[in-house]
Amino acid sequence: MVRKSGAVRRSQKQISALKHLSLLDRDSPEPPVIQINPDESPGCTDQVYLHAAAIFQSSHLEKPAAHRLISYGKRSEVSIPDAQDEASQRAAYQLAFNTLKYQQLLEDILIDSCFCLSQPMPDSSMSLVVVLLTDLLDRKFLPRRQSTNQKAVKAVREVEACLLRFKTKLVASLARCRIKHELLTLDRILPENIRHRQERETHLLLYTWINTLLCSVEEVSEVLHTSGFVCVESVGQLEGRTFCKDPHCLDLLVFPNSVKRELSDTRLLSDYRLVIQDKSCCLGPCALRPLLAAGGDVLMAGCFSAQTIAHVSAVAASVSAHTLTEGHTANTHSQMVFVCLGDGQQSHTEELQKTLSKLGCKNVQLLSASLESLEVCDVRLLKLAVLFLMPACSLSAVSNPVDYIMQEKRDPRLLLDLSQASVSPEKLQTLAAQQRKELQHAMHFPQVRAVLYSTCSVYSEENEEVLQTVLSHTQEDPTTAPPYSLSCPALLQDCSTEDEESEEMKSRFFTLEPSDHNNGCFLALLTRQLKACWEEFLWGFWPSVFALID
């Protein structure tokens, strides 16, 4: 009995030492975000663990076979399940992301403790092992309180039981790793730029755009003032129930992140009169406003959410209404927003259409084609004037990857790149090649007078270099005549640079740097004058299409 009690005391002492070894330990006092309901009990549901394991298995860092001591099975055999609700999805994404960040450390612990030798598991179960180990370390191996209305998953319970039986050796291995790397906290094992990004994430502000499809700016302002919110001059004055107008976008309101619950109580969010969205996603739609003032439709292509489509829809509808109000009879055409969806599933298209209907969009047409497969002479695009391109990018300017990927409906496999210190040169080359290809095709639509290019990347390979390469190629291409040139987006004319040598080139781009207030964004505007040769060009290349114009 004495020996048993001593073993128990030693085990409890080791487990209590994990107070400073949590995988989610940060300088910020924020509670761990992977817990669904930390007030009731630590841990997640079995379904969340399965979801997180699937994300990890599909996106983990795969080592060369000669250096691979732990295998996670084939990525091609993994299908990421749908989440039960937003809270469960967030928990799964966050757990998977933390597991990706600490993958090397977790593998070291499993190998050093001899877990893989004494508790052999099939490769397909190892993703579940590391995901559960991440959660167990974070909750100091405390037991989960099992809810009666939660469906138990046998595979999860079995793996968790194995890890709990092995907890003493796992804790000892973790302590050895801490001593080896001289870690005060485990996040010190992460690269400095990852830790800096985590710190920025805790300070990000809450951005919302006013949905003028359903209400007016004055109506939203009145509701906010009635609910006790006070309008201040700048983001530096945001504290408590306050908000301010964004300096770049007229329809964008900024709040402290701490007032999200109070903002929800106003019903502005549930009624879709205010839409929460990252500022990096709002700059593009706002930059379209002066481009659409001259008339014509807009085509969207790339990666974006229903919220971005709705924002563009609201901008186009507002411009059309203003044109009619001002009495410009030359352009009475209701401006349409065409959206390239690619070869997506019918269920996704239907879900997107339902969301757009809730947001009040009546001028949007979804096209079941990618930009590259879309013919430049498509009769639906005869009045096309502006093309908005948001290609797939590294998202390296994003500080809150989990929230961003969830909000913008991006591929969760992007979490791997965002969990690393940098994007590999090979990955950057692949992304840049596709970006150049899409931009080149966008510039072949003869009726388009402006192309707006937007990324959330800090790498010049995806930004300036893409623009410069494509422009140099199209200068000699007769199918893009008249040629495009770079222009600074009209609402961002105050962009400046301290580098005198590159001032002329940089003034043609707009870069919003990642900061404690916002994620980063890159915008470039390509324009050309069509007045002199528009009709001649159409008659030369589009005789059959021109005959269809009324």
Please give the positions annotated as active site: 456
497: which residues sit within 8 A by CB, 6+ positions away?
503, 506, 507
User: Do 449 and 296 touch, CB atoms closer than 8 A?
Assistant: yes
Tell me the torsion sign for CA atoms 354, 356, 361, 363.
Answer: negative
3-state secondary structure of 349: helix
Beta strands in 105-261 (DSSP E): 206-210, 230-231, 242-245, 252-255
Q: Is 221 helix (H, G, I), strand (E, B) or coil?
A: helix
Distance CA 58, CA 51 (A): 11
Strands (E), 124-241: 206-210, 230-231
Rounded Cα distance between 306 and 70, Å, is: 39
Instruction: Calculate helix-pair angle for 2-16, 167-181, nearest 10 degrees.
Output: 40
Report which secondary-structure segment, H or E, holds 509: strand 509-512
Residue at 407: amino acid letter: Q
Could you tell me whether strands 297-302 and 384-390 are parallel, antiparallel, or unpaired per DSSP bridges? Answer: parallel
Q: 368: which 2 tokens? A: 């079941």
What single string gives the DSSP state of each residue in 431-458?
Answer: HHHHHHHHHHHHTT-TT--EEEEEE---
Please give the distance of CA 50 from its chain centroid, rounded to a whole number.
Answer: 22
Residue type present at position 370: S
Cα 513 from Cα 116, distance rounded (Å): 44
Residue 51 CB coordination number (10 Å): 26
d(C-alpha 288, C-alpha 298), whole Å: 9
